[in-house]
Structure 1
């Protein structure tokens, strides 16, 4: 059983996310609408922010690194991503987090798959969100922008193929109008071979 997180009272876990502790639950989602300030901040990041910010660290380290590269007028986005990072820290019971904020304008991870991580939190700020389906069902569910998605990976304690959820990035090549997604991915610090403390990766 996880120990109580010192910030749990402030960052309460909504009912949908509580279900992730159940052995038969491999995905939990929280519907939400982005307010105008947050939507505008995300649009500004799309225009002026780096294509990729990738780092591993405590919330305090991540905040310091993000402030060094964030464009003006994106404070609401910074506040929201860090609030989600704090919630993920409580859910995963890890001191450090692998934090990835990325612009995506191409087809990425088109195949349905299961991640080799314990627990992954996804939030798409602009564009369509993650698509997912049950392993034994062909019905594809698409997540609206702003929604929070929590997924169990193969490394989650007690993970079972019987209740597996497969997911993928939504294909963009078939859309009539080009668009860019802004995707936040929060993971266990060792996810995807992330090495202990290294300079944050950024790119245009």
Structure 2
């Protein structure tokens, strides 16, 4: 598992694993794994990583000083540091958190050759998208800095006819969307997740099926998302 920090070089080796039966997801331990999203059959990439303690301290300080923090911005990767520095509360761990945020903007924009990135950083006390769903966009990056990570389903474990109105008003666990609770996959805090949507060319009907995790009473999450601007 990698530990990503501004002062640390990117490892030139990558570990990839996938299900040999259905090949729709890839798990890696270096940022190079993100390029697997360009493979036609892949709709989810997870880059496992460990976050520095300074980032955990920043998240806790952010929650304490701004419990409803919600930053939405269109970021130019070339000026990301200056843009984000003024938008983030200057509390303990600020530099480490800012460096990581800028790094992810640079990685995402480089991967998809973007001149601008649509960024959202939020403190959440509830699940924003509690039902399993697909996105009608190209490819979203999600990273949970604090709290439980994104939940998702393998293609082989999901009945897509039960998404949306197909659930007939039943909950995800009762609709037949998936067979058993063990089918639900979940990423770890700090992991980088790429979710290919149905707006990706040729991916109609195959968007990554995912949802926000439940949030316990008194618990908060710090969640970053990036989209094509």
User: How far did 1:21 drift?
Assistant: 1.0
Match of 2:63, SS? Answer: helix
- Cross-structure match for 1:70: 88
Match of 1:80, SS? Answer: helix
How do 1:177-196 and structure 2 match up within 5 A? Answer: 177-189=217-229
User: How far did 1:129 drift?
Assistant: 0.7
Rounded Cα–Cα distance in structure 1 between residues aligned with 2:122 and 2:10: 28
How do 1:49-88 and structure 2 match up within 5 A? Answer: 49=66, 51-72=69-90, 73=92, 74-88=94-108
How do 1:50-199 and structure 2 match up within 5 A? Answer: 51-72=69-90, 73=92, 74-137=94-157, 138=178, 139-161=183-205, 163-172=206-215, 175=216, 177-189=217-229
Using the TM superposition, name which of 63-72 and 98-107 deviates more.
63-72
TM-score w.r.t. length of structure 2: 0.71
Please say if residues 118 and 152 of structure 1, whose CA atoms lie closer than 8 Å, have aligned partners that are also in contact: yes
Please say if residues 127 and 214 of structure 2, whose CA atoms lie closer than 8 Å, have aligned partners that are also in contact: yes
Stretches of structure 1 lacking an aligned partner (at least 5 in a row): 1-8, 190-204
Rounded Cα–Cα distance in structure 2 between residues aligned with 1:129 and 1:150: 13
- Cross-structure match for 1:193: none
Match of 2:40, SS? Answer: coil
Distance 1:51 1:11, change over 3 A: farther
Match of 1:129, SS? Answer: coil
When the two chains are superposed, the root-mean-square deviation of aligned CA atoms in Å is 2.1
How do 1:8-19 and structure 2 match up within 5 A? Answer: 14-19=31-36
Please say if residues 100 and 185 of structure 1, whose CA atoms lie closer than 8 Å, have aligned partners that are also in contact: yes
- Cross-structure match for 2:161: none
User: How far did 1:101 drift?
Assistant: 0.4
Q: Deviations over 1:14-48 (max 9, x none)?
A: 34312111100000011111111121122222222
Please say if residues 135 and 198 of structure 2, whose CA atoms lie closer than 8 Å, have aligned partners that are also in contact: yes
TM-score w.r.t. length of structure 1: 0.79
Match of 1:69, SS? Answer: coil
User: How far did 1:58 drift?
Assistant: 0.3
Match of 2:105, SS? Answer: helix
User: How far did 1:90 drift?
Assistant: 1.1
How do 1:34-49 and structure 2 match up within 5 A? Answer: 34-49=51-66
User: How far did 1:135 drift?
Assistant: 4.3
* Number of residue pairs aligned between Structure 1 and Structure 2: 177
Please say if residues 80 and 105 of structure 2, whose CA atoms lie closer than 8 Å, have aligned partners that are also in contact: no
- Cross-structure match for 1:202: none
